[in-house]
Structure 1
Amino acid sequence: MTTFNRRSFLQFTAACGAAVGGVSLAAPAVFAKPEPLKLKFGNDLPDSHSVNVRLREAIAAISAETDGALDISLFPNNQLGSDPDMMSQLRSGALELATMPGTVLSTILPITALTGVGFAFTSYDKVWAAMDGAVGDLIRSNLVKANLVGFDKVWDNGFRQITSSTRPIREPGDLAGFKIRVPLVPLWVSMFSAFGASPVSIPLAEAYSALQTKIADGQENPLALIYTAKFFEVQKYCSLTNHAWDGFWLLASGKVWKSVPDDLKQVMAKHFNAAAIKQRSDIVKANQTLQADLEAKGLVFNTTNAEVFQQALAKTSFYKDARAKFGDEAWNLLQKFAGPVG
């Protein structure tokens, strides 16, 4: 990878100009423009997802402000592999940038799943106060241990809902024996197991086919992803459970980040963080219309009582086990923003 510091380059060319000042030359000196710093950016989201829409805008703005010094190529929809594949590439430096759900990161750093505890957050006000505050700082400080650098603003993955091809999920008992596709996330496997469901851990890229072939009866995701992944084609019901919230961390490879000039880091941070704020608003606006859009596609919706589900979960060992896993300090910090959990 070619790296350079633009300030040093400009100082060098200015010095050269001063050195030849007053000397008549037959032709002006021409200096080659440095090679751009090329970075690959991967994620597992569909091309049309709001994250990728806003990333493209940010990447264009970064290129414009750096006069092409940064050349970032976006690879959505698992083009560079599954989340675990891309995580491995990030840590080794083979991939420079990615967005990754906190719960997926938890396979290597358990603390990153803290915000995905079942029925913890009940509103976006609580979510963003936590993520833009002490909870986000705690997780970000732990990312360094995995040779990852987390940008300041977390992107929105949204509150998660359950879809099904067999029956609506109206109450906790409806989950008994239910084959549900979940990400490769131990926390959510434990949660659905506690409800008596049969969770099946399958990467997002394989989720549609798993539902189509009945490997799983249902799945759980935010409405935006249910729409962009076209799960409505292979599902009949959508139950608004709001059972968990998760965000996308925008990550840089720690190994690569050290070699990026500070001025270019600042430009990336400015535009990526601004794009994250816009994408959060995108999800809020989309949620106002997505239910109607999905109903038009054939999904049948029902509401649920989150308190009833949380009470049922509290009768199991789920919250006790989660607290032991995260530790009292992290658990108390979560409750500071989310309120009493479990």
Structure 2
Amino acid sequence: MLRTLFSTVCALALTASLAMAAPVTLKLGHIAEPENVYGQGADHFAKLVKERSNGEIDIQVFPSSQLGNQRDLVEGLDLGTVDMTLTGTAVMGNFVPEVAVFDLPFIFRDVDHAYKALDTVGMELAKKGEDRGMITLAIWENGVRHMTNNKRPIKEPEDMKGLKVRVMEQPVYIDMMNSLGASPTPMAMSELYTSLQKGVIDGQENPLGHIATKKFNEVQKYLSLTGHTYASEPLLISTRAWKKLTPEQQAIVKQAAIDTRDWERQLCRDLEGKFLQQIKDAGTTEVNDDVNKEAFAKATKPAWDKYVKRFGDANIKAIQAVK
């Protein structure tokens, strides 16, 4: 009987040991091309986690909307169809409305201000997502957003009038386009190239990385460097996936997310000029940097007013107070 008991204990210990050694596989989906800034960031993050966990955590990256569009991916965190995702605060704002404050036009003084505000106010607001089954590990970068279209160069707010422009499915962007007299058309990124090519819409707005790597410049005559919003990219993990990890593994994943944030932000700064030159060299798109940003900021103020009416101005003031 003692021998049987001893064998049982040994078997249980071996099973527990094997279970601890078994790798945890997590699926990370995003919509960017692999060569985009946060596409490269996702691969860098997965590599760091695997190295630091000695192979215990295997993050499988699915780029280019393979697991769905951004809304699908965020919903998938709660449904259990995806473990992690990178998504814009604009899309996250459909689930955690307060984070949409970061998509208000011209809310940041510069990129450094954006970084500091997102790492403080942003991470605090993102905690509200935990009630929706999502944990924000860090806030990465997508870049500064600019306008493209097939009708004319955009220099003044009046140049936007009548343009049918694709936007993300987020009230802040819809309100911004309405305030400029454009016709906002919410649409998934995966449908955008074909819609531009067929003339279903006149234009779109995105960071240079997306415009270059998704080759929107091939089907857009004009790029105007409006810099109207800054696109952050929160890295989210579902609460159920988080609970699969031991405290030690959680610490590894969290630190890798922060380290990749800093690496990826520097990469974005390094590549913006390269992406812009790539667009120019293609020769299909006229680039215009003569934009009256002050007039654009004034014209898009109604988007701010709607946000304040819904949530109050505390979050805006907190962002503006960041030095």
Q: Could you say whether these structures have the same fold, taking a TM-score greater than 0.5 normalized by the shorter chain as the test?
A: yes
| Residues 92 and 255, structure 1, Cα contact 8 Å, conserved in 2 | no
Question: 1:55–1:272: 8 Å Cα contact kept in structure 2?
Answer: no
Name the aligned partner's letter for residue 150 of structure 1.
Answer: T
1:326 corresponds to which letter in structure 2? F
- TM-score with structure 2 setting the length: 0.90
Separation in 1 of the partners of 2:279 and 2:109? Answer: 23
Specify the SS of the correspondent of 2:85.
strand
Q: Does 1:50 align with 2:37?
A: yes
Cross-structure match for 1:288: 273
Offset at 1:90? 0.4
Cross-structure match for 1:102:
89
**Which amino acid is 1:143 matched to?**
G
Give yes or no for contact 2:37–2:142 (8 Å, CA) kept in 1. no
What letter corresponds to residue 194 of structure 2 in structure 1? S
1:7 maps to none
State the Cα RMSD in Å: 1.8
Distance in 1, matches of 2:108 and 2:40, equals 26
**Partner deviation per Cα, 1:133-170 (whole Å, 9 max, x = no partner):** 2x12332221112111001x311111110011111111
Aligned with 2:228: secondary structure? coil
Tell me if 1:263 matches 2:248.
yes
Partners of 1:159 and 1:57 in 2: CA distance: 22
1:223 aligns with 2:208: yes
Question: In 2, distance between residues paired with 1:198 and 1:87?
Answer: 26
- Structure 2 CA distance for aligned equivalents of residues 270 and 264 of structure 1: 10
How far residue 121 of structure 1 moved from its aligned partner, in angstroms, is: 1.3
Alpha-carbon shift at residue 83 of structure 1 (Å): 1.1
Report which of the two structures shows the higher radius of gyration computed on alpha carbons: 1
Per the alignment, residue 223 of structure 2 pairs with 238
1:322 to 304, 307, 310: 307
Matched, 1:75 2:62: yes
Tell whether the 8 Å contact from 1:93 to 1:254 is kept in structure 2 after alignment.
no
Correspondence for 1:115: 102
Q: Which amino acid aligns with 2:147?
A: I
Percentage of pairs with the same residue = 29
1:91 aligns with 2:78: yes
Query: Per-residue deviation at 1:77?
Result: 0.7
Please say which of residues 63-72 and 75-84 is displaced more in the overlay: 63-72
Once the two structures are superposed, residues 154-192 of structure 1 have per-residue CA deviations (whole angstroms, 9 ceiling, x without a partner) of 111111100111111110001111111111121101110
Which residue of the other structure, out of 151, 154, 159, is the alignment partner of 2:144? 159
How far, CA to CA, are the matches of 1:32 and 1:107 in structure 2? 41
Which residue matches 2:199? Answer: 214
SS at match of 1:323: helix
Q: For 1:189, give the aligned amino acid.
A: I
User: Do residues 147 (structure 1) and 130 (structure 2) align?
Assistant: no
Question: Alpha-carbon deviation of 1:61?
Answer: 2.5
What is the total number of aligned residue pairs between the two structures? Answer: 307
* Counterpart-to-counterpart distance in 2, 1:94 and 1:326: 31
Contact 2:123 2:136 in 1 (8 A): no
Structure with a larger share of its residues in helix: 2
1:306 is matched with: 293
List aligned pairs for 1:137-216, cutoff 5 A. Answer: 137-151=123-137, 153-216=138-201
Cross-structure match for 1:6: none
Which blocks of at least 5 consecutive residues in structure 1 are unaligned? 1-14, 20-30
Q: How many angstroms apart in 2 are the aligned matches of 1:313 and 1:199?
A: 14
TM-score with structure 1 setting the length: 0.85
Ranges in structure 2 where 5+ consecutive residues have no aligned partner: 1-8
Runs of 4+ in 1 over 3 A off after TM superposition: 31-34
